[in-house]
Amino acid sequence: MKYISQENAPILEALEKMKSARLVPFDVPGHKRGRGNKELTDFLGERCLSVDVNSMKMLDNLCHPVSVIRDAEELAAEAFGAKHAFFMVGGTTSAVQAMVMTACKRGDKIIMPRNVHRSAINALILCGAVPVYVNPRMDPVLGISLGMSVADVEQAIRENSDAKAILVNNPTYYGICSNIKRIAELAHEHGMLLLADEAHGSHLYFSDKLPVAAMHAGADMAAISMHKSGGSLTQSSLLLVGDRVSHGYVHQIINLTQTTSASYLLLVSLDISRRNMALHGEKLVDRIIAQVQYARDEINAIGDYYAYSKELVNGDSIYDFDITKLAVYTRSIGLAGIEVYDLLRDEYDIQTEFGDIANLLAYVSVGDREKDIERLVSALAEIRRNYRQTGREMLKAEYISPKVVCGPQESFYGDKESLPIGDSVGRVCSEFVMCYPPGIPILAPGEMVTEEILRYIRYAKKKGCQMTGPEDMNLQRLNVLKL
């Protein structure tokens, strides 16, 4: 057996070997190494199209890996401290859904924070599991949802001892971490699995200066967005599995929904990015930490803005903070985060990750440069100087606790009717309404529509938030369960 180490990239090596073989393609894809679509080849490049290939013996098959993909997944598992790793080409959405569908069947309960990504609730619609929401604590000034309090998790367990799993965000979009190690211990003490949505935490595995990574804290499964902070191509992710879960069963679940025609561009990007982080991750993360700290100090020196960090830590609902997250509170200059987001893009050609009604998030990762950080800081200073407003009435940013009437699957597939959104108060919503990004639902299927929620939706739309989810994309009407 050939010895492989973290210095290897098995899928990359196999693709290079395939190219040297000069195969004549009588298989798919139909562009035939780019020759059949000149415009696409001119745009993406011949080197890219030449490895946009189908599964074949020398390249293995993601649905049933026995050679190079298997080797690449074993190296990923080793790098991230997992028993097994799966390469996912449907984004972390598919990894989150595979976790939930592995842990839960129809009617099973799963404990989760309400500020989960829509992918987790989508998984409940698919498998029929029922959420037990732990409403997150809220920072009254910043208007952001925090982590799950251990006491709140303990209460949820006492009241739902038959739950199959607990899902934790590690970290949240804003960098907030719960006490995942203690929550994992509680889950295991009560025969439950601990699942982690680590879409924003792939870098946690490569630095001891950051909050603990899920698999290091005892999680049973973790969904990792390598494309967010690990440097791989968009839509490429990892699903990590511990030794309390059958990886064979997980693979069966993945194959229910994942494509049988996996892109080798995505697969090789995972392989190369894993090698890069395994060999150089600590150094890369140190640079990110330094860049963000510099930006945070400079932004706070501008005045009015508040770029927050570990000073928020309270040992419970904010057990730890990911200091690579550059989140900035903007309401103190009289502008919503989404308004600053729009100004940066439209006036300064700077694309940040997202803005909500109180905060802006600039995502700093392995590819950022010091001069870009300087440009962001300078633009924020100019926005404060040129656009600052005082005495402006702004909606208080706060978490709205949902009134859950029934499970997501029951509501989504139930008999429904479309109403003008203003007439939907008091009815049970049967679809999603959310700002994207970050993709955390304001309303989810099975939840009561309230006047408070509609006021928040109107305000978010007015400020420029992109509202997604409902069948009526203009959000003039809303689907609700028939009475």
For 258-276, write each residue's pLDDT tens digit.
999 999 999 999 999 999 9
Same domain (yes/no): 367, 416: no
pTM of the model: 0.94
The reported pLDDT for the residue numbered 1 is 47
Contacts 24+ apart (CB under 8 A), 83-86: 83/241, 83/242, 83/243, 83/247, 84/240, 84/241, 84/247, 84/250, 85/238, 85/239, 85/240, 85/241, 86/238, 86/239, 86/241, 86/247, 86/250, 86/251, 86/254
Which of helix, strand or coil describes residue 195?
Answer: strand
Q: What percentage of the chain's residues is helix, strand, coil (to nearest 5)? A: 40, 15, 40
Residue count of the chain, please give it.
483
The reported pLDDT for the residue numbered 72 is 98
Q: pLDDT band at residue 464, thresholds of 50, 70 and 90? A: confident
Tell me the mean pLDDT in the region 360-365.
96
Q: Flag whether pLDDT at 396 surpasses 80.
A: no
- Whether 455 is in a domain gets the answer yes
Same domain (yes/no): 53, 196: yes
Same domain (yes/no): 347, 448: no
DSSP 52: -
The answer to which of 156-160, 398-402, 427-431 has the lowest mean pLDDT is 398-402
Distance, in Å, from the CA atom of 337 to the CA atom of 343, rounded to the nearest integer, reads 10
Domain boundary among 224, 258, 278: 278
Domain residues for the domain of 213 are: 10-278
- Whether 398 is in a domain gets the answer no
In the block, tokens 């562009």 appear at 31
10-21 vs 264-302: helix axis angle to the nearest 10?
A: 130
- Listing DSSP states for 258-294 in one string gives S-SS--HHHHHHHHHHHHHHHHHHHHHHHHHHHHHHH
| Total domains present in the chain | 3
Same domain (yes/no): 307, 380: yes
| Distance from chain centroid for Cα 276 | 21
Domain boundary among 278, 307, 341: 278
Domain boundary among 335, 355, 387: 387
- Residue-wise pLDDT for 164-204, tens only, equals 999 999 999 999 999 999 999 999 999 999 999 999 999 99
- Whether 402 is in a domain gets the answer no
Q: Flag whether pLDDT at 334 surpasses 50.
A: yes
* Mean pLDDT, the chain, whole residue set: 94
- Whether 66 is in a domain gets the answer yes
- Whether 436 is in a domain gets the answer yes
Closest CA to 126 of 112, 109, 141, 106: 106
Per the CB < 8 A criterion, the answer to whether 197 and 241 are in contact is no
Same domain (yes/no): 40, 165: yes
Q: Flag whether pLDDT at 217 surpasses 70.
A: yes
Q: Flag whether pLDDT at 395 surpasses 70.
A: no
Q: Flag whether pLDDT at 394 surpasses 60.
A: yes
Rg of the chain on CA atoms, in Å: 23
In the block, tokens 């993360």 appear at 285
Q: What is the C-alpha end-to-end distance of the chain, expressed in Å? A: 65
Same domain (yes/no): 260, 314: no
- Whether 104 is in a domain gets the answer yes
